[in-house]
Amino acid sequence: MFAKLAQPFPLGATLCDRGCNFSIHAPDHKEIKLVLFDNENKKKIIDLDNQHLDIHYTFVEGITAGQIYGYQIKDKDEIRLVLDPYAQALSKTPFYTEPFTAQRSWDFAKSVVVDQRFDWEGTTLPQVPLEETVLFETHVKGFTKRHPAIDQTKQGTYLGLCQPAMIEYFKQQGITSLQLLPVTSCMSEPHLLKMDKVNYWGYNSLCFMAPEPRYAQQDPVTEMKTMVKELHRHGIEVIMDIVFNHTAEGGEGGPKFHFKCLDKHYYLLDREKNYKNHTGCGNTFDLTYQPSLNIVLDTLRHWVTNYKIDGFRFDLAATLGRNGDRFDMHSAFFKAIAQDPILQKVKLIAEPWDIGPDGYQLGYFPRGWNECNDKFRDTVKSYWLCQENNVKEFATRLMGSRDLFSAGKWPDKLPVNFVSYHDGFTLQDLVSYNHKHNHANGENNRDGHGDNRSNNQGVEGETENYAVLSRRERQKRNLMTTLLFSFGIPHVLAVDALSHTQGGNNNAYCQDNEISWADWTPSKDKAEFSQWLATMLERRKNIMSPFIRAFSGHNRGHHRIQWNRSNGHTMNAEDWQRLEAFALYLGLFKDGKEMMFLVNSSSIPTRYRLPAGSKWQVVCDTSEATLGSRQVQTTYMQGAQSLTILYRD
- Annotated catalytic residues are 315, 351
Residue 616, H or E segment? strand 616-621
Please answer whether residues 299 and 259 qualify as being in contact, where contact means their C-beta atoms are separated by less than 8 angstroms.
no
Mention every residue, 6+ apart, whose C-beta is less than 8 A from residue 339. none
How far is residue 343's CA from residue 348's CA, in Å, rounded to a whole number?
9
Q: Where are the beta strands (DSSP E) in 429-510?
A: 489-493
Please answer whether residues 266 and 292 qualify as being in contact, where contact means their C-beta atoms are separated by less than 8 angstroms.
yes
Please answer whether residues 370 and 414 qualify as being in contact, where contact means their C-beta atoms are separated by less than 8 angstroms.
yes
β-pair type (606-609, 616-621): unpaired
- Written as one letter, the residue type at 88 is Q
Mapping DSSP to helix (H, G, I), strand (E, B) and coil, where does residue 78 land? strand
Residue 562, H or E segment? strand 560-565
- Written as one letter, the residue type at 134 is V
Mention every residue, 6+ apart, whose C-beta is less than 8 A from residue 603. 640, 641
How far is residue 377's CA from residue 433's CA, in Å, rounded to a whole number?
17
Rg (CA), the chain: 26
For 648, phi then psi, to 5°, come to -150, 145
Please answer whether residues 611 and 568 qualify as being in contact, where contact means their C-beta atoms are separated by less than 8 angstroms.
yes
- Written as one letter, the residue type at 325 is D
Burial bucket for residue 451 (CB in 10 Å: 0-12, 13-18, 19+): exposed
For 625, how many CA atoms within 13 A lie in the half-sphere containing its CB? 12
What is the distance of C-alpha 85 from the center of its chain? Answer: 23
* DSSP secondary structure letters along 314-338: ETTGGGGGEETTEE-TT-HHHHHHH
83: number of Cβ within 10 Å: 26
Mention every residue, 6+ apart, whose C-beta is less than 8 A from residue 30. none
Mention every residue, 6+ apart, whose C-beta is less than 8 A from residue 566. 581, 582, 583, 598, 600, 606, 607, 608, 609, 638
Burial bucket for residue 447 (CB in 10 Å: 0-12, 13-18, 19+): middle
β-pair type (322-323, 326-327): antiparallel
How far is residue 590's CA from residue 121's CA, in Å, rounded to a whole number?
48
Please answer whether residues 313 and 349 qualify as being in contact, where contact means their C-beta atoms are separated by less than 8 angstroms.
yes
How far is residue 333's CA from residue 329's CA, in Å, rounded to a whole number?
9
15: number of Cβ within 10 Å: 17
Mapping DSSP to helix (H, G, I), strand (E, B) and coil, where does residue 398 land? helix
- Provide the 8-state DSSP code for 275: E
How far is residue 458's CA from residue 450's CA, in Å, rounded to a whole number?
19
How far is residue 414's CA from residue 369's CA, in Å, rounded to a whole number?
9
For 52, phi then psi, to 5°, come to -160, 120
